[in-house]
């Protein structure tokens, strides 16, 4: 038998590969690394659903902020008007209630704003009830619902009868 010497290149033509069981098992059952068409389709559908829900949510939040801004403007307008009206004497209050109109800022900010006032007597004294009503511009395609804010104040010079 002819055994080549140890340093001969014929004997080591292919290097020996020492692997353990884990490496062979992992390589045998490895999943493909690319994405399949089903995975791409599912991720696209999920992305579209999330984007549409997010867009609707942002739109609804914007409408809520718009309603909040309208209520703040209406409350501020009523507080300003009531502050002026409660300082007027009881003799001049009827004429002042007849001339009542929303301010320019309120008229520009609130669509179709109308201001109404009522004079009533109660146990405390003469009471002025103010109400502002405007049309909500949030309902597109449907009949707009009216919004109202009411505020009451007592005349400073009024005494119970």
Give the pLDDT confidence of 58-102 residue by residue, as tens digits: 999 999 999 999 999 999 999 999 998 888 887 888 888 888 899
Q: Are 129 and 156 in contact (CB under 8 A)?
A: no
pTM score, whole prediction: 0.66
**Residue 20, in any domain of the structure:** no
Q: Can you give the pLDDT at residue 158?
A: 46
pLDDT tens digit string along 112-142? 899 999 999 888 888 999 999 998 765 555 5
Tokens read off for 58: 């942002």
Could you tell me the residue range of the domain that residue 105 belongs to? Answer: 38-154
Q: Cα(145)–Cα(111) distance, rounded to whole angstroms?
A: 12
5 falls within a domain = no
Per-residue pLDDT band for 44 (boundaries 50, 70, 90) equals very high
Whether 24 is covered by a domain: the verdict is: no
Do the domain assignments include residue 7?
no
What are the CA-CA distances from residue 8 to residues 16, 102, 134, 161 (Å)?
Answer: 15, 107, 101, 128
Residue 31 forms part of a structural domain: no
State the total domains in the chain.
Answer: 1
In a domain, 136, yes or no: yes
| Alpha helices per DSSP H over 1-117 | 21-28, 37-86, 93-98, 104-109
For residue 147, being part of any structural domain is answered with yes
Whether residue 45 has pLDDT greater than 90: yes
């Amino acid at each position: 038998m002819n055994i080549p010497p140890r340093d001969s290149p014929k004997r080591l033509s292919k290097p020996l590969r020492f692997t353990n069981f884990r490496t062979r098992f992992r390589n045998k059952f490895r999943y493909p690394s690319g994405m399949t068409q089903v995975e791409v389709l599912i991720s696209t559908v999920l992305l579209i659903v999330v984007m549409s829900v997010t867009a609707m949510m942002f739109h609804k939040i914007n409408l809520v902020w718009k309603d909040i801004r309208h209520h703040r403007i209406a409350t501020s307008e009523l507080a300003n008007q009531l502050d002026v009206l409660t300082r007027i004497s009881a003799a001049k209050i009827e004429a002042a209630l007849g001339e009542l109109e929303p301010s320019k800022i309120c008229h520009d900010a609130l669509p179709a704003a109308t201001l109404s006032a009522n004079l009533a007597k109660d146990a405390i004294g003469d009471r002025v009830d103010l109400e502002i009503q405007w049309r909500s511009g949030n309902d597109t395609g449907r009949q707009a619902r009216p919004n109202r804010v009411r505020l009451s104040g007592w005349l400073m010079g009024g005494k119970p009868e």
